[in-house]
Every structure is written in structure tokens, then in C-alpha cells.
Structure 1
Amino acid sequence: MPRSDSDGGLDIPNRISARPVRKPGPYIAAVVVVVVALMLLHGMVTNPNFDWPTVWMYLFNENVLSGIGWTLQLTVYAMVLATVLAVILAMMRKSANPVLRGVSWFFIWFFRGTPVYTQLVFWGLLAVLVPRMALGIPFGPEFWSIDTKTLISAGTAAVLGLGLNEAAYLSEIVRAGIEAVDTGQSEAAAALGMRRSLIMRRIVLPQAMRIIVPPTGNETIGMLKTTSLVLAVPFSLELQFATNAIANRIYKPIPLLLVACIWYLVITTVLMMLQSRLEHHFGKGFDARAMGSKGKQPPLPGKTSGEPKDAVDKVNQATMVGLNA
């Protein structure tokens, strides 16, 4: 029997030409899923209650576009605040000082244990609870004071409410990423004379980012949608409130809900693409390289001229032959 490329260059007599077992199940499941998806899509397109002309009319409405801008600003500001606080809280949880550990634990316990809507209502009523804020000597005279309404606007209260709540969740993600780094890395850096803060900044956090980035991306997408709750502050400029205001004016809630859904999906898609790029960037050096012909491995020792150069699964066989010889 002549040699062929599919045989890897080996002349094996009486080779059996085996055929793969047919498995119709996956194809049947794919057909069913496609049919159901087409039925749902057809129903959405042809159902007059969705009122697609109104959707396209208000998709690029000035108030809607302004709401998108405010939604993005709230998301960015809240996530920046949450990220900074999360790193600080995670380092406090790992501190040798019991006071810092206790404060960090209480912060996480409180903000994770109360609903974000309740927290936003609290920040909206902060001016009622604390009419004035002042600086001075503790339990002594005041040097400077200002009205709370002037210092904390509705937008600031919304960012504080969202950011502090998110920091409690994000701090646990950061702590998990830090603890996933081998302690030998920190010990080796300490043996070289590096300070603890420098070790955390230059050694631990860069390696922990590979684990931190994926859940942080999910939290960012969740934050984008959580901004729809800032009406509790009240903050009335973000996307959900803008579409609700138009819907209440024209008495057509469904088309405007679709407008909000479309824009949330667009922004979420962009965020998912950015998350994928970040994961690829921080995953450099950790990704497993493909073996065999795809990995373009060099010829392994002990291979004969008639054997495939990348037959990794034959390493043990070649080694045993060499030992026997």
C-alpha cells in the first residue's frame, strides 16, 4: 500500500479505513433552534404592537442621545471610584493591622448587605440628614462649612451611591486576584529588598490583572444597567429616564423601551469587545500554546525519518525504543 500524507508518512499494511459514526442529534438541535429563532424574529417584525416606525423615529432623538452621554458618564465615574476604593479595601483586608481589616470588613458587609436602590435614596436624602458639612478640630470649633446641597449635587450623589456599592463587590474580586498570585513572587521580591508597596504595584497587581479583568468587565456592564436606578436620587438625565419621559408624553411605552434596549445592547457590545482586548493583553505569557502541527513544534528527539515530525503523542514510544536499544 503506498504511503499517503494522511498516514503521516507511515507504510502500515492492512490499514482499516474507518469512517466516523454519524451523529444526527447536533444537526437536529441546530435546525430546531434556527426555526424557533426565525419564528421569534418574524413575530417581532410583523407584530404591529412593537410600532417599529416610532422606534426608528426616536432612536436618534436629541434627548435620547443626551441620556446616553449621561449614562456613560455615570458608568465611567462610578467604576473609577469603585476601582480605586476596591484596591484600597483589598489591601486593607490583607493588612496586618486589625483596625484596617475591621474597617474594610465592615464597609464590604454594609454595602453588600443593603440594596443599591436603598443606598441611592439615602444619598438623595443626605442634605436632609446633614444640612451642612464643616471642617475643623474634632469636637471643637469649625474653620469652614458649606451647604450639603451645594457640595453634593444629584449627579455627585448618584456617582457616590453607585461607586461605593460597586466598590464592596469589586474589592472581593481584587482580593481573589491578589491571593491567586503565588506567594513565592512576593517573597522573591522582598528578598531583593523591594518595599511592600512596590511589590504590590510592580509584581502582584500586574499578575493578578489576568484574573481581575474578566469579572471586572462583567461588573462594568452591570454598572451600565444599574444607572437606570439613579431616579431614586433623583437624577433625571440618564437614558432610561429620557426614554420614559418621551413615552409618557406620546403614550407609547413599548417603542421607547425598545429604543432603550437597542442602545444598551450597542454599548454593552462595545464594552464586551474592550473587555476581550484587555483579557488578551493581560493574558500574555499565560496562554497555552497549541501542540502538534498547529503549534509548529520542532522535531522531537528519537524520531525516525518515516515518523511525523510533530507526533507529540509518540514521545514515550520513541524514548522506550531508545532505552531498549
Structure 2
Amino acid sequence: MSFKRRLIAPSKTVQEFLDRHPEVQTRSEAKAQLDAFHQDDTFCIVTKIFGNTILHQEYDGESRKRVFAFAYVEDPEALAWYEENRQDDIDKSINMPLTIHHLQVSQSERIPWLCEELNIPYDLKLYKRSPLLAPPEFKALHPMGAAPVIQDGPITLAESAACIEYISNKYANGSLFVRPDDPAYADFLYWWHFPAGTLGPALGRIMLIKSAKLGDDNPVVQFGKAKYNQALKMLDDRVKENEWLAGKEFTAADIMVVFPLTTMRYFSPYSLEEYPNIVKYLERVAGREAYQRTMEKIDPGMELATGVNPPKSPFKL
């Protein structure tokens, strides 16, 4: 079944095609080639149906490069075909080269969440903590022995930000990243690095301080609490004025920042009572279908830590 005559290419798609194919000289030529793609020549992943309009993604069968297109379907037979071949069924027929190794209740939740947001096929391997740290088979995946770890053919990669950037650039043409010519670029860049550079270390210091059982008048305790409160206050102010960290659009910066605000509270419990805007921000996150799908897949039955107070932790630190 072909949808050749019903395919149109948005301007962003045309530019991405030109970037990948320097031999194509004009936008009209690029659009003509995009419009000429056939369903039978590509892997097609259905994402959403809006009335008689289907928003779908195509993987070139040979190179596995993604091509985005809007397919307008007026034919009942065509719509029925799409309905019968939804994401879950099509995913099973695709040879998925990308493997995500997820240590449950950990920061590696960011990686399948990214793939769910972008509808990137992946093979998920789950590892339970034993009882607190990663099991030996997970530690054997990478010299650091820490989550996350992804494998893509011969490549094994760790570190959340590295994995997110790699997957986005290789499989989604940099989706959820902001380009340098975008007015939101500087904001995105700052908040993209904020979790690892500021928020994560601040919360990590609090964990160490609590384990050391130092008195409140200890200078180390006072410094740690000040940095911790400063980081949360800055974040609270940001999401008070902006729906997402980079502005109006959800980006990879949001995927990076959510873990220390949520699941990390299983290990370092803290309340968000003084930060109502962060709570509202997490409500927006929890409302995203991709986030819901992710958490159901990777940590089924786990209470999401998106509320004011953290859930009761089963882990003894």
C-alpha cells in the first residue's frame, strides 16, 4: 500500500533532508524527493492520529535514517491499515539495534523516557537492585558499573547526558535539543547542564551530610543546606515563569532535571512544600503520556515521586 500522493513534508523536514543530502540543491527538489517516499520502502512507526491526519515517522529501510512526514489519509482502507499496525505491533517487526540497560529506580529512567518521547524503537533490559546497588551483571556492562548504559551495535555508552545526546543525534536528527540560532538556545544550554552541574551535586552533598550525622551548627551542614535550597529556589523561579525549562517547548533539559526531583527522593527524601512551582511542573511532567508509558515499563508498580512529599522508600541507606 502506497501513500505517495498523500505525503507532504513540513519545512523542518525539508531542511533536515537538505542537511543530510548535500547533493540536493534546492528546497523544491528536496520536497519532491520526500513526497516520493513509499510506505513499502521504509519502516513506518505510527505515533498519533488526528481525525483524517496521521502523524507518523519513517525509517529508511537501508540507512535507518528517520524521515518525518504528515500523511493525510482519506481512504478508509488506508486508515484501517494504520489502525491494525500501531506502534506496538510494528515495533515487534523491526530489528531494534538500540539496547537500553535500565537499573530499576535509578537515573537511567531518562533514556527510555527519551525514546518514548521520540518514538524510537529500543530493546529494554531491566535489572533489579541487589539489594541497594547494581547487580554484578549490570556492573559488568561498563567499567564504571553505573546506570545508565546503552548498547548500539558495537558501541557501549554510559552517562545520562552522553546517552541522550547520542540517541537524539543519531536517531532523531537532534530532536529535543535547541539549535544555536534559536533564541532559547542559551536557556536550554544552561538548564541542560544544571542537573549534573548544580542540582545533582547539591542533593548529593545533603545525602552525605545526613549519613555523617553532623549537627545543624556544623559549617559543612550549613553550606550544604544553603546550596541545596539555592538550587531548588532557582529552579522553582524558572518554572514559575516558564512551562518548561527552555521556555514553551519541552526539551532534553526537562528529561535531565526530573530524576533528582522525583525518583532520587527514594534515596534522599526531601519535601517540595516550599517550592510550589516545582510541584506544578512535576504535575505537567506526570501528565505526559511518554513519561507514563516509560515508568510503567521500567518500574511497574512503583509509586511516582512527583508529589509534594516523597514516597516511603524500601531502601535502607
Q: What TM-score, normalized to structure 1?
A: 0.22
Highest CA radius of gyration, 1 or 2?
1
Higher strand share: 2
- Choose between structure 1 and 2 for higher RCO, CA contacts under 8 A separated by at least 6 residues: 1
